[in-house]
Structure 1
């Protein structure tokens, strides 16, 4: 199934190029916008599967749109396209659950891979960007955890059982398991009982 897509960029040539490319590849482009305000209005009206947004636009930038969609529980998956090779912007995008981050100079090469990854619920980030800012995935993902979740992850890394953690933190074992499930989700780990332990061990210096 081809996803419904909305695109937004304040550079007319980039917008036209991207739109023509996606239509040529048989993607269902519902509408396009020249600024952030238009883009948000279109997202609210159409609730597309994917919104491909320039990060820097008049009125609202791509990150602000992602923030507003998250606050309004709109399930549209946000993909940002940008020239910015910048760790701070990348961190903000991850914190807002942005699904894709594609560098403009590679946009036409990467956008298809990005879309197919995103429709399968897998975030896509430009390999160029990842290697450029040489990010350590552990600490970046850890920023999405709450203080309580960090405490629990640290104790998991210390090989504590759910009941030991519950006792130590004065909460129920059920609450511990709930937290562990949220942590797995945020860190995109599988449900194996060892996955949390291994992550905690590998990133113990950041906990």
Structure 2
């Protein structure tokens, strides 16, 4: 059985394109809205299986609607469509247990896969978005470093010697070497002196 769907977007062309596409694919689109206020009223009135919402809309954003649905225990599964490849928004969406996050430039290609996934109770996030966030997040192991270790690693990447780093950070050369040894361990790097420098260079934008 096809799910009941409500769609909302404040761009008339995107709204129409999405509506026409879903109708053509025989989905049961029961209503559409051009802003967040209308969308929330429709969700409360119809309690559809899925609501496909633009993130940025007048009155309420897609995230705000998701938050209200969560607070009021509405069973509608929220799918967000957006141009935002933004880690903060993505994390907020995940925190609200949102079921789908589809980038608008791939909306028509991905929305069907997204709906199928959501019906089967599996969240769907645009592969393009996931890879973008992973690329821009830096290696997860960096999170295990202390602030002092990160400073040392950054200066290693700037090609500074141990004594130059010691001078800059007001610590002894011995402490710098200790930090380097801890960093190598945490990042699982080999003991060659160049391994730290190459890692720091490769990941300089995250330091």
Normalised by the length of structure 2, the TM-score is 0.65
Q: Secondary structure at the match of 1:134?
A: helix
Aligned to 1:124: 124
State whether structure 2 residue 16 is matched by structure 1 residue 13: no
Deviation at 1:105, TM superposition (A): 0.0
Deviation string, structure 1 residues 5-39 (Cα, Å, up to 9, x no partner): 00000000000000000000000000000000000
- Root mean square deviation of aligned Cα: 1.1
Aligned to 1:91: 91
Q: Report how many aligned residue pairs link the two structures.
A: 137
Aligned to 2:24: 24
Q: Secondary structure at the match of 1:98?
A: coil
Greater Cα offset, 127-136 or 50-59 = 127-136
Deviation at 1:116, TM superposition (A): 0.1
Deviation string, structure 1 residues 123-142 (Cα, Å, up to 9, x no partner): 00000000001077xx9xxx
Aligned to 2:180: none
- Counterpart-to-counterpart distance in 1, 2:33 and 2:23: 16
Gap runs ≥5 in structure 1: 140-207
Aligned to 2:101: 101
Deviation at 1:67, TM superposition (A): 0.1
> Which has the larger Rg?
2
Aligned to 1:149: none
- Counterpart-to-counterpart distance in 2, 1:101 and 1:14: 16
